A and B are shown apart, each in its own frame.
Chain A
Amino acid sequence: MTRTVKEKNSSVRTRSLIRLFERLRQFSTDDFFEISSTLFAAIVVVILALTAVVLTRGSIPAFDAYGISFVFGSDWSAVAGREVYGALPYILGTLVTSAIAMGVGVPISLGIAIFLAEMAPGSIRNPLSQLIEILAAVPSVIYGFWGLLVFRFWIVDLIEKPLSRDFGTIAVFQGTPFGLDILTAGLILAIMIIPTVSSISKEVMMAVPSSQREAAYSIGATRWEVVRIGVLNYSRSGIFGAAILGLGRAVGETMAVTMVIGNAIGPAAFPGSLFQSGQTLSSLIANEFGEANPGSLLLSSLIGLGLILFAFALIINVFAQLMVWKVLRVKGRVE
């Protein structure tokens, strides 16, 4: 019994060896392309994994030194012998600026997407869509420059001064309007997420089958009602995904934010008021890394901020891709 199984196994092995040799003999340029392109594709996975490994390893000293208070602490001091680093104000700064960006940027993006997908004729839709894509390609340092030199004065004159005058007693509007603050950073981010959110929302809306619009028209919907019950309802999870992709961009954006947020440090960086200087995870890394010596706790802490940021961005993007993918995949299934 065992012998026959063994014989069988060995003959199978021989046969597969023979097949392998035949494969090698026939090794052609096709195989070469297949193997090399697979390797290139694998690089993506390797880069992502290496990033995670490097960030985790680099931040171990900081987590060793401060434990959980590295995440929930609020002091930031590089004075030798009394070094202490806590990430909480910058985590909150990131969340608040991103929330402002979403609150302002997403409705505007939806308006743009509805116009492009539902209202505009092709002769306007196509060039305008191209322009929006170009907007996404503007380097963020340019947005930062514009924010620093132009936009912040508009914010001070048009929004902050009136609000501060009339509602200055409310906590979120306290402080002297200066323009280099959390509000400006949030609004710059809002502008920066518009290209992403609006162009993906437009794609998702255009994937809605026209039978959905006809269904709405046939029960006596007006044009706006058709958009609402025929289009937005159908594509809502995709639009949600688009918004979350925008959030991913807002959370990670560094340069423009660094230039306009005022760069507060330590407990002063808690985002208590919109008119107050703040700091985000990414802007703090950008500001401080030049002063961090190799092997220092400061460097390890900055890498730790990077790890937190990386985790945020990863979770947000995976979630968003799933939502968008869900809508584009069911396109045409229910018509």
Chain B
Amino acid sequence: MEDFKIQTQKLNAWFGNNHALKDISLGIRQNQVTAIIGPSGCGKSTLIRCLNRMHELVPGARSSGSVLLDGANIYSRGIDPVTVRRRVGMVFQKANPFPTMSVYDNVAAGLKLNGVRNPDTLDEAVKRSLEQAFLWDEVRDDLDNSGASLSGGQQQRLCIARALAVEPEAILMDEPCSALDPIATAKIEQLITNLKEKYTVVIVTHNMQQAARVSDVTAFLYLGQLIEYGGTTSLFENPKEELTERYLTGKFG
């Protein structure tokens, strides 16, 4: 059996009576960027929100099947979702920094939750995370400014830094560039490519070019089902399924 960082097995998810994910089984490798594409409402976001147990926070949401993180099911009885979320970080569609906190405190927030109080450790982690998020040079002199005072693209990179600060093993990104302009998008794409050296990255995107640019592996979802899953180059150049080809060529979606 292949060694996957994250592996879903017969994962199903519902919102009330809406069956949003149907029997999804896929493996996500370490140090790779995995893209999840598909038309709106196909379940892409639901899928990654199942990978760190964010899905169940929506009222009426439930799921079945299993998600293995390093081989252990995160949905097992006795597993604390809080620990799962500390190991698997997340970046959202709209940048959501804490507006009443400074840039510094935004990044340090997760560490403080973990009980880190030592100022030197915090300083170091804040600097490291901001550097990894390509934001350090832009904010190094304004660490005390409000997180909300940054531009949209900077706010999103601040959120990435906030996720990186707790040193997660995997990062989930839910359409992280959908609200950004092309320049800010390019920065984040470059950053994603850098991140895979240290982390496992899963990105949901409605932008097929983006998936082609940043990912190693791509999964195509349609109406809650996994239609095709494989290396990005081969999936884009030689899709095996007719549905995939029609989606990639813009016949629907």
**A residues lining the B interface (CB < 8 Å):** 121, 209, 211-222, 225, 229-230, 233-234, 236, 334-335
Contact = CB atoms under 8 A, between A and B. Distances in A.
A217 B54 contact: yes
A215 B85 contact: no
Q: Size band of the B side of the interface? A: 20 to 34
A311 to B, nearest CB: 31
Chain B contact surface mostly: mixed
Interface in B52-105: 52, 54, 57, 59, 82-83, 85-86, 89-92, 94, 96-101
B96 A236 contact: no
B46 to A, nearest CB: 14
A225 B99 contact: no
B180 interface: no
B94 A219 contact: no
Contacts of A121: 59
A218 B52 contact: yes
Contacts of A335: 94, 96
A214 B96 contact: yes
Nearest to A209: B96
B1 interface: no
A211 B110 CA distance: 16
A219 B98 contact: no
A219 B162 contact: yes
Contact of A212 (B89, B96, B113): B96
Nearest to A211: B96
Contacts of B118: none
A219 B172 CA distance: 12
A233 B147 CA distance: 13
B163 A218 contact: yes
Nearest to A121: B59
B109 interface: yes
B176 to A, nearest CB: 12
Contacts of A213: 57
Contacts of B33: none
B110 A220 contact: yes
Given A219-B109, A334-B99, 18 more contacts: A121-B59, A209-B96, A212-B98, A215-B97, A216-B109, A218-B89, A218-B90, A219-B110, A220-B82, A220-B110, A220-B113, A220-B114, A221-B113, A229-B98, A233-B100, A236-B100, A335-B94, A335-B96
A229 B112 CA distance: 11
B148 interface: yes
A215 B96 contact: yes
A219 B101 contact: no
Q: Which 9 A-B pairs have the closest CB atoms?
A: A220-B86, A219-B110, A218-B90, A211-B96, A215-B96, A334-B99, A220-B85, A233-B100, A334-B148
Given A214-B57, A229-B109, A334 B86 contact: no
A211 B163 CA distance: 14
Contact of B98 (A222, A225, A234): A234
A335 B156 CA distance: 11
